[in-house]
Structure 1
Amino acid sequence: MNCKPLVIGDLTAKIPVVQGGMGVGISLHRLAGAVAAEGGVGIISTAQIGFKDPEFDRNPLKANLKAIGEQILKARNIAPKGIIGVNIMVATKNYEEYVKAAVKAGVDLIISGAGLPVTLPEFVEKSRTKIAPIVSSLKSASVICKLWDRKYHKAPDMVVIEGPRAGGHLGFTVEQLEHIDEMDFDGEIRSIIALVSEYGEKYNKHIPVVVAGGIYDRSDMDHYLELGADGVQVATRFVTTYECDADMDYKMSYINAKKEDIKIVKSPVGMPGRAIMNPFMEKTKLERVPAAKCRQCLAHCNPAEIPYCITDALINAAKGDVENALLFCGENAYKAEKLEHVSDIMKEFSCEK
């Protein structure tokens, strides 16, 4: 399948690959910069992005907002001519401030999910920053496009369709995730592409659609390009790269994982997620693990009731304490057998074959 560059307004990625935003601390400036330098779209996760800052425990919001600008600048230094974006979860506490910090830092693209980013357009007004909602169904795509059209007279600059084989939090029910093969998700993708095309015609522009979830190799990308997508979002494959910002032990947890180790787990957020089963997740099935301190990560979280603190669990993962961590991963994480360079992965997905 021949591919072509991914065009997002006045931005052009010569390879139609968006690197998925993975937090806490898995995709920061090193990974995003490396992907952007190779001609893809590099994405920094803003989830508790300032966790290494000495101020983080005392003032997590201040540390995070400061780190957004710092990480974007560092990624730019790696890829001065590349496309640098951020992933900002709608569920983030102080969401508006995170978006404004990214825009102020001159980020090229904001990808936003974990809820519908209904207010996102008002925070990027008069900036050059492009915006892309993450959707998991035709219904959610229709809601966000209609709302932005009516309230802001704007259409998305790009749409990311995240399927049921993705890692991290998922926009599906547990029952749906237990019967993925029975879902006609390819049909859903075609329907969303058709809907987005209608809004593109209305606004006299092409709105690229990127498919995420379970894309590991070139054949996966070719499948979605054949369905009419403009590109793919790849996350899990980039974890086991030398350039990934995560600790080596986190990377090795993917390389050592078997297919049967990858499970649907319960997140404190109230959504199902996909992760590698480990002693910590087994422990949370039996008992509550109290949060040591609230770091103000999610808008709807009650520290007194959650089964465990997702910030603590994800920071442990990023730092390599994999026995006491939530090890988010995509369905195909078990396919990782060795460390790779970002450049080699991008050559595999290149249009110059």
Structure 2
Amino acid sequence: MRLPSLIIGDLKANIPIIQGGMGVGISGYNLAQAVANEGGIGVISTVQIGYKELDFETNSKEANIRALTKQIRKARELSPKGIIGVNIMVAIEQYDAMVKTCVEEKADIIISGAGLPLNLPKLVQGSSIKIVPIVSSGKAASIIIRNWLKKYSRMPDAVVVEGPEAGGHLGFHLKQLQEGKELLEDIVVEVVKVVRGFENGDNVPVIAAGGIYTGCDIVKFLKLGANGVQMGTRFVATEECDAHINFKNAYIDVKKEDISIIKSPVGLPGRAIRNKFIKQTETTDIITPDKCYNCLKKCNPSKTPYCISKALINSVKGNVEDGLVFIGSNGYRVNKIVKVKELIKELVEEAEKC
């Protein structure tokens, strides 16, 4: 059996794999173009994307927009025929401006989670860019679709269903994660049913995400009714990943017991490596930031446990013990750094054997 292609509107990915958006700076243009060139969908993360810009510390908002423009252009230059997506968190202060930049630079897809992207259709009106919300339940999918249909007469172009085994921020309450009753398999079936229940819902692909690691995992979710998968953790340990080598090696060195659920300043639980930094946050009420980047809509610097921007920037630059290292639940299984081409070949061959 050959893996089916993933069709999102007039876009066709030969391989039904979306590479997850990982910030700060983990999935930039280099990783995105490599995945796109192999027939998947490459995704750039916008979270504090301008951290390398010279004026980032003094002018972060403009630095972020400038950097996003550069990154989309570089990805497109290196993958002129590939599908380039951008992941934008609803929780960020610059949400509207980031969406506008993606439209202007003609990115192919905007994938949006960490909140409900209820006004996203309005922000992309008049463009051909595809819009894809991330949900963690059938209820969330229903709310978004009903809202979009009522206000904009528009369905999502696809829906990503992210389960509790994902890395980074999770759309679940801490109690749900601790009880372990929420399973991606069940949520995917639920969301497929919700989406298919709407008129033209059969044309909206559902993408399973969170803890998907092998080719056989891909096949499992396709059989449950998903049209493709989104994978983040597997793509960190690739040569083309935009993170520092120390960040990649943190994945290779991590043990299963070192991966834990943490409380994030975003207001959502997250999954990360329990390193020196995380242990420090557990014993300190507030790690006062040197400055506030005003990056999140709902962040109060005087009450937040630590500055998430600083923590993520430290880790992507290689200072992984003094930074936040997000990772999926299966991250401990990573044991080597490979090229994107090798990884996708391995996943496809596994899937076809399954």
TM-score scaled by length of structure 1: 0.97
Aligned residues: 350
Query: For residue 17 of structure 1, what is the aligned residue in structure 2?
Result: 17
Q: Which amino acid aligns with 2:182?
A: M
CA distance in 1, matches of 2:232, 2:197: 29
Query: For residue 281 of structure 2, what is the aligned residue in structure 1?
Result: 284
Range with greater deviation from structure 2 (326-335 or 203-212): 203-212
2:99 match: secondary structure: helix
Structure 1 residues 238-253: aligned runs within 5 Å: 238-253=235-250
Structure 1 position 184, deviation (Å):
4.6
Q: In 2, are the aligned partners of 1:25 and 1:245 still within 8 Å (CA)?
A: yes
Mind listing any 5+ residue stretches in structure 1 that lack a counterpart? none
Query: For residue 273 of structure 1, what is the aligned residue in structure 2?
Result: 270
2:178 counterpart of 1:190: no
Query: For residue 311 of structure 1, what is the aligned residue in structure 2?
Result: 309
Structure 1 position 265, deviation (Å):
0.6
Q: In 1, are the aligned partners of 2:164 and 2:182 still within 8 Å (CA)?
A: no
Structure 1 position 205, deviation (Å):
6.2
CA distance in 2, matches of 1:237, 1:204: 30
CA distance in 1, matches of 2:70, 2:279: 37
Q: Which amino acid aligns with 2:56?
A: F
Query: For residue 7 of structure 1, what is the aligned residue in structure 2?
Result: 7
Query: For residue 56 of structure 1, what is the aligned residue in structure 2?
Result: 56
Q: In 2, are the aligned partners of 1:41 and 1:85 still within 8 Å (CA)?
A: yes
1:134 match: secondary structure: strand
CA distance in 2, matches of 1:225, 1:87: 23
Change (3 A) 1:64 1:219: same
Structure 1 position 157, deviation (Å):
0.2
Structure 1 position 204, deviation (Å):
7.4
Change (3 A) 1:204 1:23: closer
CA distance in 1, matches of 2:187, 2:23: 27
User: RMSD over aligned Cα, in angstroms?
Assistant: 1.3
Query: For residue 342 of structure 1, what is the aligned residue in structure 2?
Result: 340
CA distance in 2, matches of 1:250, 1:105: 29
TM-score scaled by length of structure 2: 0.96
CA distance in 2, matches of 1:348, 1:224: 18
Q: In 1, are the aligned partners of 2:161 and 2:188 still within 8 Å (CA)?
A: yes
Change (3 A) 1:184 1:46: closer
Structure 1 position 53, deviation (Å):
0.2
1:327 match: secondary structure: coil
2:174 counterpart of 1:177: no
Aligned mate of 1:235, from 217, 232, 237: 232
Query: For residue 295 of structure 1, what is the aligned residue in structure 2?
Result: 293
Query: For residue 33 of structure 1, what is the aligned residue in structure 2?
Result: 33
Structure 1 position 345, deviation (Å):
1.3
Q: Which amino acid aligns with 2:27?
A: S
Structure 1 position 110, deviation (Å):
0.1
CA distance in 2, matches of 1:149, 1:61: 32
Structure 1 position 323, deviation (Å):
1.1
CA distance in 2, matches of 1:183, 1:311: 29
1:328 match: secondary structure: coil
2:134 match: secondary structure: strand
Q: Deviations over 1:257-316 (max 9, x none)?
A: 000000001111121100000011100111121111111210111111111000000000
